[in-house]
């Protein structure tokens, strides 16, 4: 009987311990919380929004940098193309001197007749054709695509030194004005024959 009473007392004490545990689990202890408050959700949303805006700004800056690099590459291709044309027709280097073309103010010149004829162009006609093709490339006439916005090309001869300058407009952030403004960029190629 004593054993039975002992077992019964032990069982009652286990049941009471389990009841106390369940009661403690159901009741909220001081300083604990049961869920997320609206303020915590709003703070999280604000932090995530700021992070996403920063990521978007980085993407936009990256795209702008890629565009500017593309324009600089196009300018260098146009300048080196003209340099190769002058080197190929070195006997007529004086024909290329003082050439200026502004795609905003001028129409691209027509190609000379010799360019499309069966006989082809002589050295002087080739110089005229080279300048016309280069001006058309600056203006975007042949390909239908303007390679550089507001492109300007010039060639100057000083002794044995030839300078080819290609200019264009590039949109950049102006800190002083606090806005985007168009700024003229230049690519200058100087070489000797």
Is residue 188 very low, low, confident or very high in pLDDT (cuts 50, 70, 90)? very high
Look at strands 152-158 and 99-102 and give their pairing.
Answer: antiparallel
Instruction: Give the pLDDT confidence score for residue 107 in this predicted structure.
Output: 85
**pLDDT 10s digits, 106-133:** 888 888 888 888 888 899 999 999 999 9
Where along the chain do its domains lie? 52-192
For 149-165, b/e burial (b = at least 16 CB within 10 A) is: ebbbbebebeeeebebb
Instruction: Give the pLDDT confidence score for residue 132 in this predicted structure.
Output: 92
**pLDDT 10s digits, 167-183:** 999 887 777 777 878 88
- Report pTM: 0.70
Cβ proximity of 156 and 163 under 8 Å: yes
**pLDDT 10s digits, 58-106:** 998 899 889 889 999 999 999 999 999 999 999 999 999 999 999 888 8
Instruction: Give the pLDDT confidence score for residue 5 in this predicted structure.
Output: 62
Q: Which has more pLDDT, 35 or 37?
A: 37
Which residues make beta-bridge pairs with 179? Answer: 174
HSE at residue 9, side-chain half, CA atoms within 13 A, is 6
Q: Give how far Cα 50 sits from Cα of 86, 87, 91, 118, 128, Å.
A: 54, 55, 63, 66, 58
Cβ proximity of 135 and 53 under 8 Å: no
Cβ proximity of 138 and 148 under 8 Å: yes
- Name the helix (H) or strand (E) containing 61: helix 38-88
Instruction: Give the pLDDT confidence score for residue 190 in this predicted structure.
Output: 95
**pLDDT 10s digits, 128-161:** 999 999 999 988 876 666 778 889 999 999 988 9
Instruction: Give the pLDDT confidence score for residue 42 in this predicted structure.
Output: 92
Instruction: Give the pLDDT confidence score for residue 1 in this predicted structure.
Output: 57
Most confident segment among 2-16, 22-36, 72-86: 72-86
Instruction: Give the pLDDT confidence score for residue 12 in this predicted structure.
Output: 61
């Amino acid at each position: 009987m004593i054993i039975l009473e002992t077992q019964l007392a032990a069982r009652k004490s286990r049941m009471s311990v389990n009841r106390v545990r369940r009661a403690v689990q159901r009741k909220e202890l001081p300083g604990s919380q049961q869920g997320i408050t609206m303020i915590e959700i709003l703070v999280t949303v604000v932090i995530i929004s700021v992070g996403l805006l920063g990521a978007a700004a980085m993407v936009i800056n990256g795209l702008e940098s890629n565009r500017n690099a593309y324009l600089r590459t196009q300018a260098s291709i146009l300048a080196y193309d003209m340099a190769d044309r002058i080197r190929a027709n070195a006997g007529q280097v004086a024909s290329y001197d003082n050439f200026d073309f502004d795609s905003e103010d001028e129409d691209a010149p027509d190609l000379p007749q010799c360019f499309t004829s069966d006989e082809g162009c002589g050295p002087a006609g080739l110089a005229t054709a080279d300048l016309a093709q280069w001006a058309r490339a600056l203006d975007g006439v042949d390909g239908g695509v303007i390679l550089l916005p507001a492109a300007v090309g010039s060639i100057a001869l000083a002794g044995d030194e030839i300078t080819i300058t290609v200019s264009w407009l590039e949109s950049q952030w102006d800190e002083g004005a606090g806005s985007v403004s168009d700024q003229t960029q230049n690519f200058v190629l100087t070489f000797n024959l």
